[in-house]
Amino acid sequence: MAARAGALGRGRAAARKDGAWQRLVHGYTRREKLILGILGLVLFLALWELAADAGLLNPVIVSSPSRVGSAFGGQWTSGQLLADLSVTMIEFVVGFGLSIVIGVVLGIAMGLSRLFEYMADPFVWFIYSAPLIALYPLLIVWLGLGIAYFSPYPVGFWTTSFAFGLYLLVAGGRAVARKD
């Protein structure tokens, strides 16, 4: 009888162990993407840090994650990061605001007037089809590097959102009856 009770006890312990294992496997499968994503990121950062420490990466071109984290922490505590972020947000709002205002006016005009559409279309297609990365050096040469509302950065934000919104408005204007 005692031997049978011992066997039952071992069976219950094994069942508890199996239940814990099943819960662990079930928890992993539910969060597999998250777990593997975090693991991949940690592995990438560890290899990057090792490569930087071994001297395989030129520190002038690519820094190490620990140096990036240290610089981020230093800028955060000094308040410089928030100041730079506020300048970037102002430039983004100005650029996006310009794209909305100019895009709405031009889009409605192009959608309602075929003559105006034919006149403005080559310029709009130039902005829409040109690779934006190629326009940024030109914007820097034309506008300079100064931080102002007409620096290359708001204009860069403007070029990225202008043409797409404009063509949506042109399509809407075409749907309305034209008065030529």
Q: How many domains does the chain have?
A: 2
Higher model confidence: residue 40 or residue 12? 40
Higher model confidence: residue 66 or residue 105? 66
Question: Considering the entire predicted model, what is its pTM?
Answer: 0.56
Cβ–Cβ contacts within 10 Å for residue 117, how many?
19
Cα(38)–Cα(24) distance, rounded to whole angstroms?
A: 18
% of the chain with per-residue pLDDT over 70:
69
20: domain range?
2-78
> Do 127 and 65 share a structural domain?
no
> Do 132 and 100 share a structural domain?
yes
At 143-172, the pLDDT tens digits run: 666 655 556 666 666 666 666 677 677 777
> Do 168 and 132 share a structural domain?
yes
Q: Is 8 exposed, middle or buried, given 0-12, 13-18 or 19+ CB atoms closer than 10 A?
A: exposed
> Do 88 and 151 share a structural domain?
yes
